Chain A
């Protein structure tokens, strides 16, 4: 099994396997999102206090979950790159940052739309909101460094270090609702403990979480696959691949 995963560090094998794998991911994402949206909007019962506005959480929670999940993944990739010098890991960080940045922005926007009818304001300098905004700025900084530096190992190293420094924001986001008295509600959904959400409201959230995850993975891998092709353009396998596609 380890050998199978180890083979992914070869750009050629990575490209070939992703070429087959991405369409499956894309179809899985479409299916999960369609089921999640229909179930969430039409069949899930409305909340006693929040009424129909709670349905915004079916978009907001997956986006917020992925904004943090993708940053954690970037942290793992940065460590792999800095410790084992696997170039593919350093290269993948930038692709993950593009999608993570969008997910963070979506979490902020949908949260703001939910905040207006529930809190009476679009924005407040609450600990959770502010730390999530800092996460968005971190993603933006990583993308800015990526565009400012020419491609190469120096840029990869700088980005990996920046990601590791930014990891400190993740526990702050997660525990902000515990450490401080915030307007943002405490955690209602957890994979590891009993959820505070009613069981009848949970399935659409799980479908949407899966849909967002599959969608993000498909986008990241497609971007990575193409950027890899350009980066490896001096290799024979890329040359033969382009000749075949002509």
Chain B
């Protein structure tokens, strides 16, 4: 543990948490698109 450890932890932490959330958001968007498409086709056929 040095004087700079909190700065290192916060910078790496912020970056990787942001990248992780982006990954989750992208995956959710994918599922949302597929769901929307299925509903759209269902409505189209009815």
Partners in one complex: yes
Contact of B8 among A55, A116, A222, A233 (CB under 8 A): A55
A239 touches B41 (CB 8 A): yes
* B interface, size bucket: 20 to 34
Q: Could you tell me the distance in whole angstroms from the C-beta of A57 to the nearest C-beta in chain B? A: 9
| Stretch from A79-87, A107-115, A153-161 forming part of the interface with B | A107-115
Give residues of chain A (92-126) contacting chain B, Cβ–Cβ below 8 Å: 99, 102, 105-106, 109-110, 113-114, 116-117
Contacts of A53 in B (CB 8 A): 4, 7-8
Per-position contact with A for B7-37: 1 when CB-CB < 8 Å, else 0?
Answer: 1101110110011001100100110011011
Q: Could you tell me the distance in whole angstroms from the C-beta of A119 to the nearest C-beta in chain B? A: 12
A56 touches B8 (CB 8 A): yes
Cβ-based interface call for B3 (8 A): yes
Main secondary structure of the interface of B (DSSP, over half): helix
B11 touches A229 (CB 8 A): no
Contact of A51 among B4, B36, B38, B40 (CB under 8 A): B4
Other contacts beyond A110-B11, A233-B37: 7, CB < 8 A: A53-B4, A56-B7, A56-B8, A60-B11, A105-B18, A223-B29, A238-B37
On A, residues with C-beta under 8 Å from B are 37, 41, 51-53, 55-56, 59-60, 63, 99, 102, 105-106, 109-110, 113-114, 116-117, 215, 219, 222-223, 226-227, 229-230, 233, 238-239, 242-243, 245-246
On B, residues with C-beta under 8 Å from A are 2-5, 7-8, 10-12, 14-15, 18-19, 22-23, 26, 29-30, 33-34, 36-38, 40-41
